[in-house]
Amino acid sequence: MLSELNSTPNPKGWWNQFPPKLRLIARGRLFASIGAGGVLYLSPLLFNELGFSASQIGSGITIAAISGTISRLITGLFLDKGVNCFIPLRIAGLFAILADLVLLNSNQFSEYLQGQFLLGAAAGIYWPSAELSVPIHCEEYPSSKGFALVRTADALGITIGSILGTLSSSFGILRSIYLLDILCMLFLIRIVSKKILNVNYNKQDLLEYSFQGNRKNLIIKLFPILIISLFSTSIFALLQSGLPLDLVQGSPLRPALNESISGLILSLQLGLILLFQWPIGKYLSNKNVMYGLRLSLTFLGIGCLFLSLSSKLTHGIYLIIIALISIAIGLTSFLPTATEGIVQASSKSNRGIAMALFSQCFGISAVIAPITAGKILDHMGDGFTLWLSLAIISFCLIPLNNNINLMKSK
């Protein structure tokens, strides 16, 4: 495994190995993620400084999740009718720009809700289209490696965006995160409007992309992957909500950490995901989906177990660092593998709605996981029960891989 992870060629040769259309998609996703990195991570801080309560900020997140749920499903249905996936991406960019303009000038709760609604709609339109664009434009290149590339672009963009957002906060210009997102969305729209990416589907393509299957059977077929995805994306959400709260709250034995150290630890997590995403994604592109998901669940379970044990040790901070390394490996194993699993488990005729269902896991977990974790932390006083429960669930989900039914890739 180590030899495979260290086999990355020189940067120019590495980049040129990908099809031209896939390289453009990766660039577009990089810009989209840079904008999202600042907005997603620092918007709550901005509106907290404006005096919004935690419940008000949470209401905005809920509104975004609801609008994202609706727009994901609608986008998936249109994609299955043969709509070029770059048309929704341009629409998503416009919705995001509208949301940024509203949030840039918002000081009232109603304005905040309007901006969050538009932001959620933009995300819901963006994700199924962005994911579906990868296997369609990989040409003869393996789609598993294509997903490893775009996930690396996502991770790099989120890291850059969060760093730029943090810098803007330190200079007292936190609202500039919305100006950055507007700029990034303009770059995204320009990239996905290139002629090379906007060739109309021929009649055979439209026939392949017109939905002819049974959606109930599709959901049953995708069920194992969706359950694993719902759990894994919940871990992702908890790294941004439950873990910071656990760190600053501490436990009877582990001292509470101040907000600056907690922020440093979370930055470490983003850096680890960026560092691991491409080599692990490339390694797993040569393995089957079941292997990748088993690896992901194993490392997520180990990481959660270490987080739970950290609550019982005075120097639990060291276990937290080990846990974050394990969780980073688990998440970077999950992201490209699960997406490739959705591609292999669905035919071209229903891949749009399949991607919509997959991206829906991110929206559901972003709402449910933080609320559930907050109640557990408040009731138990520390994170031991929360992380131990997640570790047990992770290990229990491993046998579910045996029920995954895949078609031939592409």
Q: What is the DSSP letter of 29?
A: H
- Domain check: are 54 and 166 in the same one? yes
Task: Check residue 125 and give its pLDDT.
Answer: 94
Asked if residue 203 belongs to a domain, the reply is no
- The runs of H, that is alpha helices, within 193-349 are 203-209, 215-239, 242-249, 259-284, 289-310, 317-345
One domain for residues 186 and 220? no
Between the alpha carbon of residue 31 and those of residues 26, 80, 134, 153, 352, the distances in Å are: 9, 26, 16, 9, 23
pLDDT beneath 70: ranges in the chain: 1-12, 54, 197-216, 259-260, 263, 407-410
Distances (CA, A) of 307 to 61, 137, 238, 271, 355: 26, 40, 12, 19, 32
* Alpha-carbon gap, residue 227 to 247, rounded angstroms: 28
Residues 251 and 166 in one domain: no
Please tell me the predicted confidence (pLDDT) of residue 135: 86
Does residue 178 sit in the same domain as residue 227? no
Give the chain's domain count.
2
Domain CATH number, residue 164 = 1.20.1250.20
- Which of 157, 192, 227 lies at the terminal end of a domain, its last residue? 192
* 281 and 391 together in one domain: yes
Q: Which pLDDT score is estimated for 409?
A: 43
Q: Please tell me the chain's helix, strand, coil percentages from 3-state DSSP, rounded to the nearest 5.
A: 80, 0, 20
Q: Are residues 44 and 86 in the same domain?
A: yes
Of the three residues 192, 224, 241, the one that is the final residue of a domain is 192
128 and 242 co-located in one domain: no
In a domain, 103, yes or no: yes
Range of the domain at 275: 214-410
Q: Is residue 208 part of a domain?
A: no
Residues 221 and 182 in one domain: no
